[in-house]
Structure 1
Amino acid sequence: MTSAPILDIRDIHKDYGTYQALKGVSLSVRQGEFIALVGPSGCGKTTLLKQIAGFEDATSGTISIDGRDMAGVPAAQRPTSMVFQKLALFPHMTVAENIGFPLKLRKVAPGEIASRVNEMLTLMELKPIYLDRFPRALSGGEQQRVALARSMISSPKLLLLDEPLSALDVKLKKVLQSELKRLHRSLGVTFVHVTHDLEEAMMLADRICVMRAGRILQLGEPSDIYYRPADAFVAGFIGETNLFPVEVTGRKVGSVHYSSTAFEDATGTLPADAAAENASGAALMNVRPELIRRIGPKDTADCAVNAKVTEVFTKGGTVQYRAHTPQGMDLAIEIQGTSQLPMQVGENVRLGWSKKDIWILPAGEA
């Protein structure tokens, strides 16, 4: 028996005059889950977060938290807490006062506030000497931890994060991403996280919700979103990919048949679960760059194509290549980084990939 969701969003619409920011969004989030909302700017992800927090009222639809309808419940009375992109720490308050502020608003006894502040300090791995300092005396990462401590001190059922790491440098962001993962695991609190950083979403989330133009295009585990995208937009938005035009020529029980002029395997058969149910007729074959390899004259591959290397990008741990095929396609290939580049610009190469790495998706948008 599946337990009731901690967050249940049903058919939420949000209009600003004639502009529709949310167009019938429905989403259920399980207790203790880490959900990431991703999508291009203006897709509605922050608007949805504001609806959950109670900062804005929906035009229509319902939001329930822990089985309770939130209609008419003000933000201060919801079992949620929010960490903003700009943190919103009070500059005139010390670290201790900032962290304890939510409990002070609830008129909790000073002794209990002090005790809870110390608990939060330990949880966030902040030093006790910081308690009497003001936010301006802290580093960006330390301020981030203070903001998280303040958001967690009231034991919310839902922690809402609106791109809280976006302004940090790469190295510090990696540290705090690990901290977020540790906190989520140790606290068991449900996280709903808005981010533009797709790598961050893949690293942290149990499930990713891809939004576009006020709608949810796909909701699933990171590996499903990455390797089995719902449509071409999701495929291209969640990392770089290769989309070969194919024709789905038929389906039988347990199999799907395709043909293509974009590579040498003109016809082929795949297991039925290697293609989206709505993929028929004109379709696309999705193959991620790391799944394409260089093959030698005597090597075999399920699918293969000749190409000419047009560009090389070294990315430290990986090397990415661009190659152009006689059929007119530009491909991306990514391999493990080495001290010597195995392919050079201008070199003619043969590339191949396995049928087990193929995903067929509809040519149009979902």
Structure 2
Amino acid sequence: MTNASILSIADVHKSYGTYPALKGVSLDVRQGEFIALVGPSGCGKTTLLKQIAGFEDATSGVIRIEGQDMAGVPAALRPTSMVFQKLALFPHMTVAQNIGFPLKLRKASAAEIAAKVDDMIQLMELKPEYLKRYPRALSGGEQQRVALARSMISSPKLLLLDEPLSALDVKLKKVLQAELKRLHRSVGVTFVHVTHDLEEAMMLADRICVMRAGRILQLGEPSDIYYRPADTFVAGFIGETNLIPISITGRSGSEVSYTSGEIVDAQKGVASSMVAPGVAEGAALMMVRPELIRRCDEAAAVDCRIFATVTEVFTKGGTVQYRARSTKGLELAIEIQGTSHLPMQLGEDVWLGWNKKDIWVLKPGEA
């Protein structure tokens, strides 16, 4: 991956009648990058993908691919390929014919098509005997590989993926996610991937773009999005979290002081590097992810503690999730590695602690 931008989107608006689906979206995607677009239904992520692909025209704004303005360039002439949620394989064509179809449209020779189809089945680890079969004779995962092979055969500069794994069962989805990561690494094509699966976005993407109501709220690496969210919406959307009310009382050098009716903290201060931009004196929220909270005793060497009662226990094999309620009614989520025994029991009173290097302070806002 290089720092050069292959895709540049500048102030793109898209309206359907009076409904604004995109409200001034700007985004640069680097050559060879894997970027995921996430957000709630109706946020504009698929609309944005359609603008890039050329299936729809933007109301205003500019989309450039490799520096070329795409205004007026039809989808068939753009250096892009798209894989849809519904794979749209042609049922009357064999696997070989499906994969080679984009080259047939470009009037490539039969020998060139056959050679590139062979390359694609090796890349996608499909068995040669599948070439003469029809899509209905393949499993869901095999059909997905065929759709990816068809999308890659014309050597696109940008591969656009619109939730292609959403209809698969959990086990098969995990396999295909690994295949998608391998494919991206081996071919070096830039991927723009729309998904509702936040874990998938965290696993696959170099950067994640969080959208809401036609706008981009935050763009960053997965760890930044997860541990340093721009606001409370991003914090709650990208995984479960705890938002504990505090009050900012002042700033001194590199430290921000605070008070809290919930948190036991002898220092009552956090490093300013752990405070989001725009947080002012007054009401604020201390964010701490569930996996960063642990059971401790009253004298434990942790920076912050809360006394609470365990209200729910959820065992998930690899992890155990707890819900606890503080003496003042604050609800907390805790997640630990799964064990053969439960370290906390339903109804038990416990001290829960965490360290300040693991927190992030946000402005209050809509979650």
Query: What TM-score do the two structures reach when normalised by structure 1?
Result: 0.98
SS at match of 1:6: strand
The CA deviation at 1:267 is 5.8
Distance 1:130 1:102 in 2: 19
- Shift, 1:3, TM fit: 4.5
Which residue does the alignment assign to 2:104?
104
Q: Show the 5 A alignment for 1:344-355.
A: 344-355=345-356
Residues 319, 335 of structure 1: 8 Å contact kept: yes
Counterpart position of 2:41: 41
Structure 1 stretch displaced more, 172-181 or 279-288: 279-288
In structure 2, C-alpha distance between the alignment counterparts of 1:268 and 1:300, rounded to whole Å: 15
Structure 2 Cα separation of the partners of residues 58 and 255 of structure 1: 46
Using the alignment, how far apart are the partners of 2:52 and 2:3 within structure 1?
20
Q: CA deviation at 1:260?
A: 1.6
Partner deviation per Cα, 1:317-354 (whole Å, 9 max, x = no partner)? 00000000012110000001011111111111111110
Indicate yes or no: 2:208 matched with 1:217. Answer: no
Distance 2:74 2:254 in 1: 52
Instruction: Tell me if structure 2 keeps the 8 A contact 1:260–1:267.
Output: no
User: Given that residues 35 and 192 in structure 1 are in contact (C-alpha distance below 8 angstroms), is that contact kept between their aligned partners in structure 2?
Assistant: yes
Query: Counterparts of 1:187-198 in structure 2 under 5 Å?
Result: 187-198=187-198
Aligned position for 1:258: 258
Identify the residue that residue 182 of structure 2 maps to in structure 1.
182
Q: What CA distance in whole angstroms lies between the structure 1 residues aligned with 2:283 and 2:195?
A: 33
How far did residue 233 of structure 1 move? 0.7
| 1:267 to 1:258, Cα distance in 2 relative to 1, 3 A | farther
The alignment status of 1:206 with 2:198, answered yes or no, reads no
1:236 matched residue in structure 2: 236
Shift of 1:283: 1.3
Question: Aligned partner of 2:132: which letter?
Answer: D
Aligned to 1:316: 317
Residue 168 of structure 1 is matched in structure 2 by: 168
Shift of 1:263: 1.6
Aligned partners of 1:345, 1:288: CA distance in 2, in Å?
21
Structure 2 Cα separation of the partners of residues 256 and 133 of structure 1: 66
1:302 corresponding residue in structure 2: 303
Post-superposition shift, 1:265? 2.2
Cross-structure match for 2:124: 124
1:300 to partner: Cα distance: 3.0
The one-letter amino acid of 2:81's match is S
Structure 2: distance between partners of 1:241 and 1:276: 16
What percent identity do the matched residue pairs reach?
77
Q: 2:145 maps to which residue?
A: 145
The amino acid that maps onto 1:288 is R
2:154 is matched with which residue? 154
| Structure 1 residue 261: Cα displacement | 1.4
1:73 maps to 73
In 2: Cα distance, 1:20 partner to 1:267 partner: 48
Total equivalences in the alignment: 365
Task: Tell me the alpha carbon deviations over residues 227-247 of structure 1, each in whole angstroms, 9 at most, x when there is no partner.
Answer: 111111111100000001112
Gaps of 5+ in 2: none
* Structure 1: gaps (5+ residues): none
Query: In structure 1, what is the Cα distance between the partners aligned to 2:53 and 2:266?
Result: 53
Deviations 1:34-77 (A, max 9, x none): 00000000000000000000000000000000111000000000
- Whether 2:13 is the aligned partner of 1:23: answer no
Normalised by the length of structure 2, the TM-score is 0.97
User: For residues 79-126 of structure 1, what are the alpha-carbon distances to aligned partners after superposition, in whole Å with 9 as ceiling and x for unaligned?
Assistant: 000000011100110000000000010111110000000000000000
In the alignment, residue 179 of structure 1 is paired with which amino acid? E
Give the letter for the 1:161 counterpart: L
Q: CA RMSD in A?
A: 1.3
CA contact (8 A) 1:208 1:222 kept: yes
Distance 2:210 2:165 in 1: 19
1:337 aligns with 2:326: no
Aligned partners of 1:211 and 1:252: how far apart in 2?
Answer: 35
Matched, 1:283 2:303: no
Q: What's the CA shift for 1:266?
A: 7.2
1:47 counterpart SS class: helix
1: CA distance, partners of 2:107 / 2:254: 63
Name which of structure 1's ranges 300-309 and 79-88 shifts more when overlaid on structure 2: 300-309
Give the drift of 1:268.
2.0
C-alpha distance in structure 1 between counterparts of 2:268 and 2:298, whole Å: 22
Rounded Cα–Cα distance in structure 2 between residues aligned with 1:159 and 1:351: 45
Which contiguous aligned blocks of 4+ residues in structure 1 show a shift greater than 3 angstroms?
Answer: none
| Superposed CA offset, 1:239-261 (max 9, x none) | 00000111222233322222221
Query: Tell me, what secondary structure is at the counterpart of 1:131?
Result: helix
Provide the C-alpha distance between the structure 2 equivalents of 1:365 and 1:345, rounded to a whole number of angstroms. Answer: 31
CA contact (8 A) 1:309 1:344 kept: yes
In the aligned structure 2, how far is the partner of 1:189 from the partner of 1:13? 27
Match of 2:53 in 1: 53
Kept in 2: contact 1:263–1:327 (CA 8 A): no
For residues 363 and 299 of structure 2, what CA distance do their matches in structure 1 show? 34
- 2:5 aligns to what SS in structure 1? coil
Q: SS at the partner of 2:93?
A: coil
Q: SS of the counterpart of 2:26? A: strand
